[in-house]
Each structure stands twice: as C-alpha cells, then as structure tokens.
Chains A and B, each alone.
Chain A
C-alpha cells in the first residue's frame, strides 16, 4: 500500500525527521490559506500515487499565497498520468545545498532489510545505481539487532560527512529505519533527502510503501485503503476486498486462473500467440463458486474485454466448484462475451460434466485454449 506524500511526511515529522513546513488542501482557497501561513516561496504538490509526478506537471511553485491559490486551482483540475488530483500539499521551498538519497527495502537473497544511501539523490535509486554505482552505499541489516546508530553514522561517513553532521545525518537515517520497522514498510525512502544551505538535513520528499500483508497491524491505513482514495482502480479494490488478485492491463482478453504463476504464464502464452490480455486475475487456491462468479463479474466490468479465458488447474481448487461458479456468474452477471475454458485437475470430470451439460465447451490444453482465445479476440478486427 502506497502512502500519500502528506501521510508519509506526517509520520516522518512525528519521528523527529525534519520536513519542510507545510499543509494539506483540497481546494484552491484552502491552499491559499495554508500558503499564507508559510514562508514563501512555496511548492504545491499534487497528492497522487504515481511515480514521476514532477515530470508529469504535478509539482508547481509559487512566491505568494495568491500564486499558490492559482497553482492549486490548476492542479486540482488536471489529471496526473490519468489520476485526478483530489488533494494538494503546500510546503515551504527549502534552500538546498545537496540532494541525497536514503532508503530501506528488502534484500531477497540475504533474507533481510537493506539500507541504501547515496550522496547523489533526486533521481530514482536504480538510475543512480546505473549512472554512478560507486556512489551507492549498501548496508545489510542484521535482523537480530537492526539498523543501529553506529550503522547510521557509518553510512553518513561514507556519504562524505564529517564532524557534527555525522550524528545529525545519522539520527535522520536511524529514525527512518524505526519508521520502516514500526509501520511494516516494504519500502521507505527519502528522495531527495537534502542538506540545506545551513548544513542541516531534511526529507524534501519521501515515499513509503507499506507491506500489504502487515496491514492487519496498521488498521488506520487499511481503513484508508479500503474506504478512501488509493492507487487502486475500483476493480482492483473490489478484488482486494474479496481476496482476489486483480491487475488491470490494456488488452482485450479477460483472464482468470488459479495461482499467480499459472495466470502469469497464461498471459505470457496469450501474448506468445499474438493476443493481448486485458487483466491478471488470480482466484487463489480452493476458491468457492461465489468467488469465481465475482472474478467473472470484475473481469467483465472492463469494457475492452472481447473474450474470456478461464484457465484452471485444480489442486486445492476443485474443478466442479469452478464450473458451478461459472454457471452462477452466467446467470447472475449475464456473461455475454465468448468464453474459453480450460479445466484440469481435482474433480475434473465433474467440472467438465457440469459445464458440458450447460452447453459450454471445455478444453484440456492450455496452449490450445490460449490460441482459441486469441482467435476470438481478433474476430472483431476483421
């Protein structure tokens, strides 16, 4: 779950990490009010959960409260990468001496968290790593005792700081780690983390992605995710609420399968045969019929879908349950799009019988089924 910049900055401030003075606004007049309390010039930032917001015009500057109002008005009436801007964050523009990077994420191979810092910040860390790999400082975090103040000082030293700045910067890094752990962040970064002209450090921008699997420990954010704005489309949100993994894509073959790997491979196979998947949808293991029906409803709510490809390999999932779900959906949702169904595994015979009785043809080979789905999806093109 991605946090909005204003949410992230509020957390940082709570932990004593300096951030620019600022406030949230949902209207231009409110933006003016917020700006009037700040020392100009100010920065006006669209609160949208997309990467590359700056380049997409989501960040404006103003040298007075009035200008801030105008800028806010502008932002509140545009879409950033297709996302309407519902709120903006107005903050004082800080006098930057140097842009740095610091973040904490997971290291799969070492099964641990890793702290990454760079004396060259302001761009994506991958970009920094590609351009100036020698400037990227990595430190594996021992889970037994975490990222300690001496680790933070080590990194500050390697970022080129000396004297009091070592401890000053160290404190900021250590606190970010604490936030990461306390909030179960799978990624937390300050980018840019800036050294100001007076030699202090502040998080000019920050990104926090919470571990979805740990949201049960962070109910306030879970609530916001389920009830408020988020980076999820309505379909993705409904899928999530029902424990379905759904990702919207830009093709026209709706895909439903069980198991993430199998569904990914299904998309790949569709693409291999020249088709374009409209989505990824994993019904998960052991899905009951209602879940299959709901999955169909979600996939069909995408107007681009021309054909449906259901690919089930029953392990825990029982083919007969899936078959019943399909019929249920056909009845309730009214499936008008052509369906290609591939159904093998546990209770395969019963599943096939149910569908065949209902006049639905079932295939056994995933490749054959994929080819068939691609064919159907292209029929309209001719």
Chain B
C-alpha cells in the first residue's frame, strides 16, 4: 500500500493544498440523498480523501456508475469532474469506451453488488479480463437497496427478507472471481474503516490496470436480517416491530480501526456481526493461488479478508496493448484521422 502520509477529511491537514494545488473541498460533490448511516456515504468520503491525498486533478477524472443507491454516489464526490450515470450493470462498457477515447483520463467506477453481480456480471467479467485502467469500487451491501431490499448475488446463504423469503444461493465472491479472471489489483475493505479504505483507494489510484475493490457497505434500511454478514438493521430484539410502511430510521456511521493480522468484530444495530480479518503485514499479495486460498479459507470461517488481496503490478493494461498514439483519440485533429486523397485514390484503384 503506497502513500503512508494519510490525510483525512477531519484532520487539520485539510487546509493545506495538495500537489494539484487544490484544497480538500475541491474534491467534494453534491449533498447526498442516501439514507443517513448508509455505508455508501462513507465510501464517498474516502474517495474524496484518497483523490485529495493523491493530488488527482479533478478535471482529468471521470466518474462512472450503473444504477442503484451505490451508483448514485458519484454525484456526491468530485463535483467538478465529469460523470456518467449509465444504465443498470453496464458501467464497464461505457467506461471502456471513454478510456478508448481518451487514455489520459483517470476513471473511477462505482457500482453495487446488484449492479455488478447480477445484471452486470458479464461486463464485469470482461472488464477484469481486459485489465482496463479503472478503479472499480463495488459498494457491497448484499442487497438491492434502491429497489427496496431484494437479495443480490452477494447475499449470504440463509439471509431472510421481511417477507420471510430465504436466500438459498451461495454468494458470489467478487474478489475471488476477479482474481480468477486475471484482474491485476483486487482488494476488500469495509466502508467504516477509514484508514484501510483510504489506503486501498490510494493504492488503486496508483495502479495502472483494473483495480477492483469490494467494499462491504451496510444498507441500514433493508439489509436488516440476522443471517446477513453485511447488515445494520433496526429495532429487533426487544420492541414489537412497528412495521411502518416506509419508515427509515436514522443511523450513525459505524467506524472501525484495527490492526493488520487482527480480526475485527463489527456489531450491527440488530446484533448481527461481521468479522473482518485484516491481512497481516507479511502477506504477499502477488501470489495468485495463495490469494485465492486465503479468500476461500476466510470465507469458510465466516470471515472476510480485508486489505490488498492480490496485485500484479507489471501486467500490461488494455490501453497499452492497443498501441494508441500519444494524444487522446478524442482530440486528434481532422488531418490525423481523415487520410489524404492519395489513400482514397489508392483504394479506388485497387477496386477499379
């Protein structure tokens, strides 16, 4: 993980300018319209921190997303960057096109576990395979927040909806999947772990290739069932559930801070627990099979390994293999994209 000098939104370091000559507020976005306590908001904050710390120029950034609560969040950071809120599950293709047009752009993609794991899994697979240079953040809450709480493909076996429907399907581990597909930077973190998440995001921004980060991010409103490892949830233990049709309680963010090698138990509002295991400092993230084994083993123990799980720093990214001219394709002048008359004449002669 690069850049040990951390700067967060709350430290006094805020007032200073970064290497792009900007202050932290230059990285803020619109006011969030997500629920209070939603993990996605914390992630937006960390993206702001990381971009500020890395001195990214906002006018070189493009923010990309699909559809979902998570996919709304690019509106809430880097307000002066271009953004494209595409259609559900198809952000990877839009991002690919944009980077083809201009390989100098810094692409930050935000998706949800539904957006990526369900309708978008095909584009996800092919994005990983291509190693497109993009930071790809999955804001992973195990459910479809925006459509009111249905299971997503990362929901745990045994999770139960309010209606009593139980999920019988095994979750897709997006990290293991990405590694399997040849992704070159794979990490997992928790929305409430400021230190780790900022560090992971900074490393991702420094990586040339696809940097996939699965961020466990509680949905405080819908993922409220005992079985879930990704949930907050409300008033369950003692009260008679009031069952209001659309009451969304107010929650504070959960935050954690724990050491490498340690397991952190995160207690949710409903008493359910999430176990995070931070990879220890000796962990070697360049061994693919080892990374897969760690993911499988922690999963079998009911834990989530967090940190930079796998990285292959040297792999050529997609744009490099295309061998494009140095200038962005989008800004090539007519003289460089319309061949001269001699070329047309040559072709015509060949067909005549």
Query: Do A and B come together as binding partners?
Result: no
What is B's interface to A at a CB cutoff of 8 Å? none
What is A's interface to B at a CB cutoff of 8 Å? none
